[in-house]
Amino acid sequence: MSASDLSTSGPVTRHVVAETLREEASVWLFVVKTLIAFFLTGWIAMRLDLPAPSTAMLTTIIVANRQAGMVLAKSFYRALGTLAGATAAVGIVAAFPQQRDLFLLALSLWIGICAGGATLYRNFKSYAFVLGGYTAAIVAIPVIENPPGVFDSATARISEVLLGLLVSGVVSDVIFPSRMRDVLRRTARDQFAHFVAFVRDSTGGAIPRESMEKAHLRFVCAAVSLEDLRSSVIFEDAEARARSHHLRLFNQRFMAASTSFQSLHHLINRLKRAHRDATASLLIRLYAPLGAALDAPIEAGAAARVLLPRLAAARETMRDNTGPLRDTLGDTQDLRDFDTGAALLLRFVDELHDYVDAAATLQAPRVIAASAERVRFDRGNDFLGAGIATVRTTLTMLVLGAFWIGSAWPMGSSAMLLATVFAGLFATTPNPTRVTWLVMLGYLSGMVAGFVCEFFVLTQLDGYGLLVVGVAPFLAVGLVMMMTQRFASYGLGWAMGFAYILALKNVQTYDPSHFINDAIAQVVGLGAAAVSFVVIPPAIGSAWLRRRQLARLRGQVALAAEAPLPGLRHRFESVNHDLVSQVVAQTEPGSADSRALIAWALAVHETGRALIELRHDMARRELPATLRPYLEDALGTLSRFYEKPDARGYLLARDAVATAIASVGEHDGVAHLLEHLHLVRMALLDGESILAAYMPDAPLGKEIAHAS
């Protein structure tokens, strides 16, 4: 080994050791904080003489997270779901106090609706629906023989859950808190730095399509991750709440700028492939001042503010250079290509300036008054997939309810409760069958540990202090596993199974037969949830849903062509990014489905934005009556082709756009419309895009063609 190897291996080794120790410290800090919250909640619940302290204690495990913001966000939505579920339980019991069949039907339908609602949302909004479902079951099922007790049951459940949430929130926020705001700031800073650097490094020429596809995925993930973090951090940090609107605006401007950036480089690539090197070279020359403007230390805290005047100067230089560069061209087609590229480049510079301006606002030490521009991040939800989750969960509850009534099984309520919890909890995961079985194995292990703890440890101890000493080692095993990627589901099952079966309360009872019967019922409930995912497979992660999501993605072109213009840019960008992120999360990287998704996403982004800009220009001024039908026909034909792509639809769309271009050329004062139409036409004629599969002379054997 050389001296240089020795000199470099030392720092690398120290870095690896430091990162390992830091990760281990983070895991054990999480374990200790969760144990503190668990036992402190139990002590308070017992001092207050709540009916089921174990419910409050279990709540601390369910909302446990390393980040304080995540705990607070999850607690907020858990509280909402608990209140909604308790209210629904009171209503159902009041409506059917003596009709057990109708009671179970109504309860099953409510739980199913909540499971379906959970699939329509991401993050902890989804969790609120899950809680709304199984809280109703937890409140209503125990009082099925005593309907007047439903109010007491609801009050107790709410009190226990809110106590667990309060203690978890305080512990996570006071004891060595790990702030989500730091993660949010780092994410926003990285998004800004990486995008600006990518734009700066690309000003020298074209970007290969493969690189552009990878960049597009990075842009999508960055935008969705930032929105997910923003929606959680607002619970933790007052400054984040005050800057929430600015963060949304920052993210929306990032999505708009990244779409225009991709369109610009697709155009340059097409010109190069068509051997129109003169036009491509002129556009790259026109592009050059932007690279010089962005050549600044973007990692510095004041980077955005420093870049603003540089970008403004570059924009003026580019506008001044447009005319002289254009005059060097003589061919009509070259002039049209240059005009299209120059207009797109100047639009991108404007959007990049707006994005940097939003970044400068975020970096300001004081919160600046919110902009008049109001934006929101719309999601691409699939209501049919939610309907499948509703049907599956409802049927599972009905089958278990019928078995309970028919068999008069004393522990049937426990089975229904566990089935309710896990049928809703894992309805939103891509592979719920596997996850449920892993959790069930962990749950079984946790119950075995609970048996050992209850009958061989707790029976030898007296007092709450010794109870903590006896229970903590068993629970810590599950919490540690929850923090490992490989055993996270198993660890969650262990911790929940151990805490649930232990059922700690003021006067602890030691009844082995009841313990074993309850454990069997819980296993039956878990098994029923797992079987339900096999009998009625979930839509999430399925090829069927991916086809629907791709169809919805293509349908975004129809949205761009037909939806009302106010707020359309923001809606188009956010829904596109959310749909792409959903399919990316559910497909194997590099697979045919993944490549099809990326290819369609690039085509939809480019064409959709061009149509939106075209419609905005059409709305700004009065158009000749003879021109508007051709433009509207092009819009309608394009939207129909993207909704149901085929070779015939492609030819109709191509010809409709060509006719619209010819019609615009016959009228004065509307030449600006040509820039958008020509960009759409170039996208339609791109032999390397997904649309090549529908061209008359193109090979149809591309792997990505099947996605249509």
pLDDT in tens, 625-642: 888 899 999 999 999 999
Distance CA 371, CA 249 (A): 9
pLDDT digits (tens, 9 = 90+) for 357-404: 888 888 776 666 555 456 776 666 667 777 777 888 888 888 888 887
Distance CA 250, CA 473 (A): 46
> What is the pLDDT, as a whole number, of residue 10?
55
Q: Are 104 and 401 in contact (CB under 8 A)?
A: yes
Report the 10 Å Cβ neighbour count for 589: 8
Q: Which long-range contacts (CB under 8 A, 24 or more apart) does 120-126 make?
A: 120/379, 120/381, 120/382, 120/383, 120/386, 121/379, 121/381, 122/228, 122/379, 123/73, 123/228, 123/231, 123/232, 124/73, 124/74, 124/76, 124/77, 124/78, 124/232, 125/77, 126/428
* pLDDT < 50 positions in the chain: 1, 4, 6-8, 300-301, 372, 699-708
Structure tokens at 102: 């109708």
Structure tokens at 344: 């797109």
* Structural domain boundaries in the chain: 17-178+380-535, 180-235+244-363, 543-707
* pTM of the shown model: 0.75
> What is the pLDDT, as a whole number, of residue 451?
92
Of 254, 228, 477, 504, the residue nearest 354 (C-alpha): 254
> What is the pLDDT, as a whole number, of residue 122?
65
Q: Are 239 and 254 in contact (CB under 8 A)?
A: no
Residue type, 85: G
**Helix H or strand E encompassing 157:** helix 150-174
Out of 1.10.10, 2.60.120, 1.10.1760, 1.20.58, the CATH code matching 180-235+244-363 is 1.20.58
pLDDT digits (tens, 9 = 90+) for 522-580: 888 888 888 877 777 665 656 667 777 788 888 889 989 998 988 888 888 888 888 77
Q: Are 101 and 405 in contact (CB under 8 A)?
A: yes
DSSP state of 694: G
Q: Which long-range contacts (CB under 8 A, 24 or more apart) does 692-700 make?
A: 694/645, 694/646, 694/647, 694/649, 694/650, 695/647, 695/650, 696/647, 696/651
Q: How many CA atoms lie within 13 A of 467 on its CB side?
A: 17
Burial of 708 (0-12, 13-18, 19+ CB in 10 A): middle
Structure tokens at 57: 């204690």
> What is the pLDDT, as a whole number, of residue 633?
93
SS3 letters for 413-442?
Answer: HHHHHHHHHHHHHCCCCCCHHHHHHHHHHH
Distance CA 491, CA 496 (A): 9
Torsion of CA 512, 513, 515, 516, to 10 degrees: 110
